[in-house]
Structure 1
Amino acid sequence: MTETATAKLGRPRAFCEETALEAAMRVFWEKGYEGASLADLTEAMGINRASLYSSFGDKEALFRQALARYGEGPASYVKTALQEPTARRVVEALLKGVVDLLGNPKNPRGCLSTQGALATGLGAEPIKNVLIEWRKGAEVEMQKRFKRARTEGDLPEDVNAGDLTRYLSSVIYGLGIMAANGDTKADLNRVVDMTLRTLPLA
C-alpha cells in the first residue's frame, strides 16, 4: 500500500500519553465526570476517539487513570505530609498543602475528588464508588500515621486517631467546596489558622 493510500485510510496520530492524561485530568477536575464529554476530552487531549479508546480504554477507565495521576501529582502533598516527624507538623503540612493546591490560580476550582462526583447520576455510580474508595484510602493512611503518633507519645491520650482523621478530612473537603465557590486563598488560610488553634496538638 502506498503512503498516500495509508494517509487516506487514516494514520494513527503520534502523541504523548502522559501529556494527554494530564489534559484529561484537568478536564475532569474542572467539569466533573458527567460534565466532561468525550468531545471535551478528545479536544483537550489532542487526540481522536479511536486513539482515546485504544490508549486509555473507555471514559470510566480514563477517569480512573486521571484520578491516579491526580494523586501522584497535584494531591501528592498528602503522602509528603504524612512523612513529617510530628502529628502537628503532619496536620500543618496537610492543611498547607491543600490550600496551596486550591489557591493556585492555574488549577481548576475545588479538588478533583469532590468536583469529579458533582451531579453524578445512577449511570455513573461506579465513579462515585471509585471516588469514595479513593478518599477512604487517604483517610486510612492518615489514621495509620496518627496511630503511630499515639504510640510514640506524640498524640495526647484523649485524642482518638480516627476522630482526628475524620475531623481533618471534613476540614479538607470543606476547603475544597469553599474554593469551588470562589473563596480566596486568604479565606482558606483563615480557616486553616483557626483549625490549628483549636486542635489539641503540641
Structure 2
Amino acid sequence: MTSGRKKSFSELEALEAAMHVFWSKGYVGASLSALTESMGINKPSMYSTFGNKEALFVKSTSYYVEQKMKPHLRFLYEPNIDLIQRLKNYLYSIVAMQCESNHPKGCYLVLCQSELAGGDIPESAAQQLRELDALPQNVLIDLLTTDAQSIKRGLDKNANNIALTLYTVLKGTASMARSGATLAELSCVVDNVLDGVLHQKN
C-alpha cells in the first residue's frame, strides 16, 4: 500500500486493476473497498490520483475501450481480404476476448450498460456508456454503406439492420460467455448468423 503523501504505485496498473473490478462486478457492485484492494492503494491515494468512484469508472471505461475494443477494428479494414471474412475475423476476435480466462468473462461495456435502466449510475458515467453503446453499430453501418464489396453484394441497402443484428449477436455472446459458454460454441453462433444475414438475397 502507498501513503497518501507520496505516490509509489503505477497508475496504469492500478487503472487496469480497477477495470477488472468493474468488469467483474459492474459499476453498482464495485465497492470502493474492492476497488482500492484490487488496485493496491488506499482511498486517499485513489481520490488524489483518479478522483471519486465515478471519475475512476470513466477513466477505467476509456482504458477498456482503448485496450480491449479498438484493437478488433483492424480486422474490418484489412486489405485484400473478402468482406465476409473481415466481418467474421472481427466477430471472432471479440468473441475470443469475451471468453479469455485472464480477465472476467464477457464484455465490460455490456455488463455496465445493462445497469443503466436501474438509474444507479451517475450521469457522466451513464452518458459515456450510452455514447459507447452507439459506436459499434455505427462503425458497422459505415463499413457496410461505403465498402466496395458490400455495395457490390447489395448489403449497403440493408446496412442498418445488418449492423443491428451483428451488434445484438455480440451482446448475446458476451452474456453467454459470462455464463460459461465456450469459444467453440459461440464461434458456431457467429458462423450461423453470418451465413443467414450476409448471404441473404437483396
Scaled by the length of structure 2, the TM-score of the pair is 0.85
Alignment-derived partner of residue 104 in structure 2:
108
| 1:42/1:48 contact within 8 Å kept | yes
How many angstroms apart in 1 are the aligned matches of 2:165 and 2:150?
21
Q: Equivalent residues in 2 for 1:41-52 (5 A)?
A: 41-52=35-46
Question: How many Å apart are 1:159 and its aligned residue?
Answer: 4.0
Q: Deviations over 1:146-185 (max 9, x none)?
A: 1111587344257422111111100110100111111111
- Asked if 1:178 is matched to 2:176, the reply is yes
- Superposition RMSD in Å: 2.3
Alignment-derived partner of residue 185 in structure 2:
187
How many angstroms apart in 2 are the aligned matches of 1:170 and 1:29?
19
Aligned match for 2:77, one of 79, 83, 93 = 83
- Which one has a larger percent helix, Structure 1 or Structure 2? 2
Percent identity between the two aligned chains: 34
Where 2:77 maps in the other structure, the secondary structure is: coil
Alignment-derived partner of residue 96 in structure 1:
92
| 2:113/2:130 contact within 8 Å kept | no
How many angstroms apart in 2 are the aligned matches of 1:11 and 1:157?
59
- How many residues align structurally? 194
How many angstroms apart in 2 are the aligned matches of 1:115 and 1:92?
23
Gaps of 5+ in 1: 1-8
Q: Equivalent residues in 2 for 1:28-177 (5 A)?
A: 28-85=22-79, 86-120=82-116, 121-126=118-123, 127-149=125-147, 153-156=151-154, 159-177=157-175
| 1:77/1:98 contact within 8 Å kept | no
Where 2:41 maps in the other structure, the secondary structure is: coil
Question: How many Å apart are 1:139 and its aligned residue?
Answer: 2.0
Runs of 4+ in 1 over 3 A off after TM superposition: 117-121, 150-155
Alignment-derived partner of residue 6 in structure 1:
none
Cα gap change, 1:152/1:165 in structure 2, threshold over 3 Å: closer, same or farther? closer
Cα gap change, 1:17/1:155 in structure 2, threshold over 3 Å: closer, same or farther? farther
| 2:105/2:178 contact within 8 Å kept | yes
How many angstroms apart in 2 are the aligned matches of 1:158 and 1:54?
49
How many angstroms apart in 1 are the aligned matches of 2:169 and 2:159?
15
Cα gap change, 1:57/1:154 in structure 2, threshold over 3 Å: closer, same or farther? farther
Scaled by the length of structure 1, the TM-score of the pair is 0.85
How many angstroms apart in 2 are the aligned matches of 1:19 and 1:184?
29
- Please tell me whether Structure 1 or Structure 2 has the larger radius of gyration of its CA atoms: 1
Aligned match for 2:13, one of 19, 24, 33 = 19
Q: Deviations over 1:75-128 (max 9, x none)?
A: 234322232344313311221111210121112021001112444532315234
| 1:175/1:188 contact within 8 Å kept | yes
How many angstroms apart in 1 are the aligned matches of 2:134 and 2:114?
18
| 1:101/1:107 contact within 8 Å kept | no
| 1:87/1:154 contact within 8 Å kept | no
